[in-house]
A and B are shown apart, each in its own frame.
Chain A
Amino acid sequence: MNYLTAHPARVAALAAAHLELVGVALAVALLVAVPLGLWAARRRNVAPWLLGVLGAIYTIPSLALLAVLVEWFGLGYTPIFVALVVYAQFMLARNVVAGINGVDRAQVDAARGLGMSPSQILLRVEFPQALPVLIGGVRIAAIAMISIATLGGYVGGVGLGVLIFNGLTLHQPQMIVAGSLAACALAIAVDATLRLAERRTAPR
C-alpha cells in the first residue's frame, strides 16, 4: 500500500493509460465483431463455424499469443493492442449472434409484413433488443481485457502492467500490489458501469 499512497499520481496516470488502451482496443474490437456477428446471425450455417474459430483463438494462452505478436510487431504498444482486439472477438461476436437470434421471430415476421426494409428491421427491431445482450458481452470482454492488458507491461507497452513487471524486476512487492489493486479497482468500476447500462437498455 505504501507505493500507492506515496505515488498516487503515477498510479493514476498508469491506470488512465491502462483504461485508454482497453477502451480503444474495445472500440476497434466492436467495429470488427459487430458486423461479423450480424453476418453470422443472418446465416445459420456460418455462426457455429465462426464462433468455433474465434473460440479456438480465445483458448490460446495470452502470453503465448503475445510472444508471437512481438515477433511480428516488435515490442511496445502494438502487440498488446492487437492481442486485446483478437481476444475480445469471441466474447463480442458470440453475444451479437445470441442477441440477434434471441429476438422473437414473430416480431421479425411482423416487421417484414408491415413493410420494414431489411435495414429497418435490423436497426429498429433486432438491434435495440439485442443491445442488452451485446452490452453484457462488452462487460465481460472489458473485464477480461483489463486483466490481459497488464501483460502489456512485459512487452514494453503501457498501463498498470508496467508497475507490476517493474516491481518484479526490481523486487518491489509494493509496486506489484499497487498495480494489481489498481487493475482490480478498474475492473470493478467498469463492471459496475456496464451493468448499469445493461439494465438501462433492457426492455421494461
Chain B
Amino acid sequence: MVRYPGSDRNAVNGVSFELLGGELVVLLGPSGCGKSTLLRTVNRLVPLDAGRVVVDGRDVTELDPVELRRSIGYVIQAVGLFAHMSVAQNIAVVPSLQGWKGSDVAQRVDELLTLVGLDPAAYRNRRPSQLSGGEAQRVGVARAIAARPRALLMDEPFGAVDVLARTALQRELVRIVRDLETTTLFVTHDVDEAFRLADRIVVMRAGRVEQVAPPLELFDQPATAYVRDTVHAGDDVYRRYFVHARELLRSGNE
C-alpha cells in the first residue's frame, strides 16, 4: 500500500501479483490509477507504507536501495539522458558504477547500440541533443540494460515517441526481452500497446487491480465491467485487430 503525504486516499492498495522469470507484464490503467507508483515501489523510488515487494526471493526493503536499482533497469517516458555526456557515456553509466574495466565497457556500449538498432560508429559520440525522440529512447533502453539486469522497469517509455518509431521500439523490446530473458514490468495507458507487448496484463483502476490475465483472456473473460469496457470485450473487430497486431509485432516485418 502507498499513500502520498497530504493525500486522503491510497495511491496503491490491495495489489498482489507475481512476475515469472523472463515475463513481460504490462500495468494498464488511466493516468492517476497508481500504475507508475506501483512500478516505482519495485526499485524503492517510492517507499511502501504497507505490504511487501519481493525481487528474486528477497524483500526489497532488506536490500541497499542503490544496489537494488543498479540490478534493475529503469526507463522513463522523458528518457532523461544525461545532457552533458555522449551517447556512449550515457550507456556506460551503470557498468562504470559497478566498476567494469574500460575496455569491457567500450565493447558493451557498441554491442548495445547494435542491439537497439543504432550504428555504433555513427552514434557513440553523439550528444543527446543530436538524437530524435525515438533514437533517444533506444539509447535509454540500452542504458537500462547495459549491466545485464535481470529485471527491467519501464514507465510509459514510448509515450512521447512518434507512431512509426514507437512500433519499431515495441518490436525491438519484445525481441530483447525474449532474447535476454529480462523480466519486465511495463507501464502504459495505451490498450493497444498493452495488447501488443504483454505476456500478461494487470488492469488497474484507482489504486486497485481489476484483473491480471493474458491479453486474450482479458478480452474473452473480463472479470469486471471496467475491464470489459477498457478492452472492448465482445467486439470481434477489436479481437481480430489485437491478435493481428501481436502477430505483426513478432513477425519481423511490418
B143 interface residue per 8 A CB criterion: yes
B93 touches A114 (CB 8 A): yes
Picked from A109, A120, A128, the residue with its CB within 8 Å of the CB of B76 is A109
B80 touches A203 (CB 8 A): no
B118 interface residue per 8 A CB criterion: no
Instruction: Give A120 to B66 CA distance when docked, in angstroms.
Output: 11
B76 touches A110 (CB 8 A): yes
Residue of B nearest to A125 (CB): B82
The interface-forming segment of B67-75, B185-193, B200-208, B210-218 is B67-75
Residue of A nearest to B80 (CB): A110
| Set of chain B residues within 8 Å of A128, measured between Cβ atoms | 84
Instruction: Give A96 to B176 CA distance when docked, in angstroms.
Output: 41
Instruction: Give A111 to B89 CA distance when docked, in angstroms.
Output: 13
B127 interface residue per 8 A CB criterion: yes
A-B contact count (CB 8 A): 65
Instruction: Give A114 to B83 CA distance when docked, in angstroms.
Output: 16
A117 interface residue per 8 A CB criterion: yes
Picked from B43, B66, B144, the residue with its CB within 8 Å of the CB of A116 is B66
| Set of chain B residues within 8 Å of A120, measured between Cβ atoms | 97
A106 touches B76 (CB 8 A): yes
Interface of A is mostly: helix
A20 interface residue per 8 A CB criterion: no
| Set of chain A residues within 8 Å of B80, measured between Cβ atoms | 104, 106-111
B27 interface residue per 8 A CB criterion: no
| Set of chain B residues within 8 Å of A116, measured between Cβ atoms | 66, 93, 97
B-facing residues in A124-138 (Cβ within 8 Å) = 124-125, 128-129
A61 interface residue per 8 A CB criterion: no
Residue of A nearest to B94 (CB): A114
- B9 to nearest A CB, angstroms? 24
A107 touches B45 (CB 8 A): no
B81 interface residue per 8 A CB criterion: yes
B84 touches A115 (CB 8 A): no
| Set of chain B residues within 8 Å of A42, measured between Cβ atoms | none
B83 touches A129 (CB 8 A): yes
A114 touches B74 (CB 8 A): yes
* Chain B interface (Cβ < 8 Å from any Cβ of A): 43, 45, 66-71, 74, 76, 78-84, 93-94, 97, 127, 129, 140, 143-144, 153
Name 14 extra pairs, CB < 8 A, besides A109-B45, A113-B153, A116-B66. Answer: A106-B80, A110-B74, A110-B81, A110-B140, A111-B82, A113-B69, A113-B76, A114-B70, A114-B93, A115-B68, A120-B97, A129-B83, A129-B84, A204-B129
